[in-house]
Chain A
Amino acid sequence: MSGFLAGLCVAVLPLLAAGFWLGRRTARPETLGGLGTPVEHATFQTLHTASLAAPPLRAGLTEETARKSARRLRSLLGTDALCLTDRKEVLVWDGVGGHHRTEIMERLAGPLETGRGEAFRLRCDHPDCPVRWAVVAPLTVDDRVHGALVACAPRESAVLVRAAGEVARWVTVQLELADLDQSRTRLIEAEIKALRAQISPHFIFNSLAVIASFVRTDPERARELLLEFADFTRYSFRRHGDFTTLADELHAIDHYLALVRARFGDRLSVTLQIAPEVLPVALPFLCLQPLVENAVKHGLEGKTANAGGKCHISITAQDAGAEALVVIEDDGVGMDPVLLRRILAGEVSPSGGIGLSNVDDRLRQVYGDDHGLVIETAVGAGMKVSARLPKYQPGVHSAGRIAQEYSGE
């Protein structure tokens, strides 16, 4: 009997889950039904439809996003046919009368040029064609016409002209937001490029000075350091791909540390503890090296060489389920948490380098807001910076280590 019971449980569980899911999917709109007056109800419905149409348009005006939002927009307007176009062609035709596509595009030339709405009668050979009349409302973002929203109806209607104008304005707002998203992405990309460029001046100067000091006394050492320098700069100036692997990033950090150790000698000690499972994890290019640079700077700050001040940095990378946890810790002067918070919020520009806040921004941009840097610090208590890197994130692909060897420029 017990076998039967267990089998029954196994069979019923998925059914229950499916039922629960279906119930949640279907119940949502109806729950509003009992609320308020019919007018309020209609308002809710309109707002709900509008909110459903918004997300696809936030990705910009393409064939796919137009297809996803057109049906909602049509039910918002209550017309028989609705069409979205870009400057060249019809992106989607929702509803009846699809044979007017080419005609619409011909008639759109004027409105797309001037950016002003229009209403006109459609020419049609079909005696029983359901749509006879069209309203054109251009979609204008920053004085540039991106496309048009066309609503078709059996007869003239002033209400439809007004409504189409309003909906077009609403769509325009969504497209403006999409534009804003794009420019934000471009800004971050520009910041990444800026960070690549910013790594160098101080560091290059210091490294070359150190190498120069070894040229006479220890030519062999100087040669090694020059090679390390070459490797590091090749990595940081590489052009292709925004992402790298943890293994590659760690190697770059190794080259960097070799140059720093040449300058500071045994004042700087570093320990590593790295789980081999997380080495293939893909991550934004050059997002750990600035953290190490930061740790070196903070660790040695305020500790003069003749006082024998030493700094210890530990770098750990752990395997934590679907994520890799990277922690970089130093035992330096630390920082006032309030000041740090203001630096991360961008209110104060830090004294040197844009390391922490830039890395934080990029991690949030790539992995979402819950994957920013976690920093534990206090004045005189050192600093511990942790980053959680998901092993898989859509759109994050590295050009692996093999790739690097072929990337000579």
Chain B
Amino acid sequence: MNSGYAVPAVALVVVATVLVGAFGLRISRTTSDFYVASRTVGPRLNAAAISGEYLSAASFLGIAGLVLIQGPDMLWYPVGYTAGYLVLLLFVAAPLRRSGAYTLPDFAEARLASYGVRRLAGAFVVGVGWLYLLPQLQGAGLTLTVLTGAPDSLGGLIVAVVVVATVAAGGMRSITFVQAFQYWLKLTALLVPALFLVLAWQSDGAPRHAFEEPVTFREQRVVRVDDSLDLQLARPLTVTVTGTVDGRPHDGERVRLPTGTHHITRGTRLAFAEGTAVPDADRGTGGGMSTSLVAGREERPLYATYGLILATFLGTMGLPHVVVRFYTSPHGVAARRTTVAVLGLIGAFYLLPPLYGALGRLYTPELALTGDADASVLLLPDRMIGGVGGDLLGALLAGGAFAAFLSTASGLTMAVAGVLTQDVLPARGVRHFRLGTVLAMAVPLAASVLVGGLPVADAVGLAFAVSASSFCPLLVLGIWWRRLTPPGAAAGMLVGGGSAFMAVAATMAGLPAGGPLHALLAWPALWSVPLGFLTMVLVSLATPGRVPPGTEAVLARFHLPEELRAEVKA
């Protein structure tokens, strides 16, 4: 792919983000337009900001990649990512805004008047934030590798440096405008190429076998294997090999591989003929969790799907960078309107990634073999249109992808750094916020170098699982159940969120290689969310004397509309 257009596009996005962030609101006004200067953020602008912050690399690249590898089952991802806001709208949005809390730890303190629960919630914010940042950095690395052939970790490093520099320098002051800008940028970057790609698909005779199994090559294609892998062949395969297969060197010979497992050494080129089925790749033992999750899904598709649905439906409300944006709404009703608008904006966006996934199955099937399926969105214009037009559209997509990394990563970094500064680092102040920013980004950056080959949508799914098992019980019970006690909330978060966190860690370490236990750990939400709720309820019921004294007043404030509250007070 030609990087002559893509690199300037990425640079342009980075510069535009920094500039809008720093100067978006440096417009001084005189008193004559005072009402313009002090107008609160409307639901639509705030909704665009929330959507911009929320649509991450997982949405921009990951969903298409998963659809490419595993087919239409993966459409549950966009459905879940969107439906999470429905749950948020129904149960959380307005009461959370009325609570006056800015962050999730603030909410814990406002509801339970306990500093201990506040710190525990802070710890989970940091954990979820780091889990969510990890795939963003990896996605950036992948994008830059595909565009320029740079080393894997460079893209992540660039995003990390840009984000830390802007956030630490206080450059995200007009964050609402930056994030709203990012949303429209991402939508444009995905929508415009999609229109051209659909036209190209039409002129190609509109082939319709996108979701047929198995995926086949539509033309002769040479695939270079960058990491050693094992091919699982369900039927014999004839392929032209330049390199080493099963320990035997070949040089451009046609080889007929019988049914079974074959080991392909790295650096080998395989030339597939037209109409050949794409074989299943198993990335060996150290290949990270991309294949391990796939295996779990193939063994127990129903369980995996429900695990995913529960995690995304209930996990959205606990995402630290989303929650803080609701503070910008002036009151509870505006928070609800904002959420409705978010549902519309995100729903519109998520129509596009499945389209890329389906086209990817038709035109870039070999990515399933090399493990770079997340790159299919970026490669499609070059493959289907080609020439300068293809390069330009590819550059637009690359810019959009970087917007996705930057917006989500900066939102998460601010949320994590805020918690680190306020509740973890010893003293407060500007200098400590900078230290917190560096720390917030350093840990996931180090982890992204250590962990390889993680499909971004799956990694984000794990962050959702932890969030759903810890914050969902806290928020839902905190808002709707008056007998919640601080020990109950702490125990529920520790048991639910802690077990989900352990499951994620075990999955990342690849501990149980298969079997029912593996599936349980790879999709923890289905058992860890009920576990969190149950622990919270039981421990609260067991400590009835610890219900905070002002609970009635606090719940009244959460649920009464603001105008009623004023009447009561007056």
Interface residues of A (CB under 8 A from B): 1-11, 14, 17, 64, 239-241, 245, 247, 250-251, 254, 257-258, 261, 269-277, 279-280, 282, 314, 318-322, 370, 391-392, 394, 396-407, 409
For B38, the chain A residues whose CB sits under 8 A away are 247, 250-251, 254, 272, 274, 279
B151 to A: closest C-beta gap in Å: 15
Contact, CB under 8 Å: A2 / B100: no
For A403, the chain B residues whose CB sits under 8 A away are 562-563, 565-566, 569
Complex A-B: 19 CB contacts under 8 Å: A3-B286, A3-B289, A4-B286, A4-B509, A6-B450, A9-B450, A247-B40, A271-B29, A273-B27, A277-B41, A279-B330, A280-B328, A319-B173, A370-B428, A391-B106, A399-B562, A399-B566, A400-B331, A405-B563
Contact, CB under 8 Å: B447 / A11: no
Contact mask for chain B residues 87-129; partner A; CB cutoff 8 A; 1 contact, 0 none? 0000000000000111100100110010000000001000100
The chain A residue with its CB closest to the CB of B451 is A6
The chain B residue with its CB closest to the CB of A64 is B549
The chain A residue with its CB closest to the CB of B287 is A3
Within residues 512 to 570 of chain B, which ones have a CB less than 8 A from any CB in chain A?
549, 557, 562-563, 565-567, 569-570
What is the bound-complex CA distance between A243 and B222, given in angstroms?
69
Which one of A11, A258, A398 lies within 8 Å of B506 (CB-CB)? A11
Interface extent on B, as a size class?
Answer: 35 or more
For A398, the chain B residues whose CB sits under 8 A away are 100
For B414, the chain A residues whose CB sits under 8 A away are 321
**A2-B450, A3-B509, A250-B38 known; A392 and B563 CB under 8 Å?**
no
Which one of A261, A277, A282 lies within 8 Å of B328 (CB-CB)? A277
Interface residues of B (CB under 8 A from A): 25-31, 34, 37-41, 100-103, 106, 109-110, 113, 123, 127, 170, 173-176, 285-289, 327-331, 414, 417-418, 421-422, 428, 433, 447, 450-453, 498, 501-502, 504-511, 549, 557, 562-563, 565-567, 569-570
A201 to B: closest C-beta gap in Å: 25
For A2, the chain B residues whose CB sits under 8 A away are 286, 288, 450-452
Contact, CB under 8 Å: B433 / A6: no
For B34, the chain A residues whose CB sits under 8 A away are 250-251, 254, 272
Contact, CB under 8 Å: A322 / B566: no
Contact, CB under 8 Å: A4 / B418: no
7 smallest beta-carbon distances between A and B, as pairs: A7-B509, A403-B566, A7-B508, A11-B505, A6-B450, A391-B102, A6-B451
What is the bound-complex CA distance between A240 and B568, given in angstroms?
10
What is the bound-complex CA distance between A279 and B123, given in angstroms?
28
**A392-B100, A394-B110, A400-B331 known; A272 and B175 CB under 8 Å?**
no
For A314, the chain B residues whose CB sits under 8 A away are 28
B232 to A: closest C-beta gap in Å: 20
What is the bound-complex CA distance between A79 and B497, given in angstroms?
43
The chain A residue with its CB closest to the CB of B115 is A394
Contact, CB under 8 Å: A5 / B566: no
A327 to B: closest C-beta gap in Å: 13
The chain B residue with its CB closest to the CB of A371 is B428
For B173, the chain A residues whose CB sits under 8 A away are 275, 318-320
* Most chain A beta-carbon neighbours within 10 Å: one of B428, B502, B509: B509
Contact, CB under 8 Å: B31 / A392: no
Contact, CB under 8 Å: A11 / B502: yes
The chain A residue with its CB closest to the CB of B553 is A397
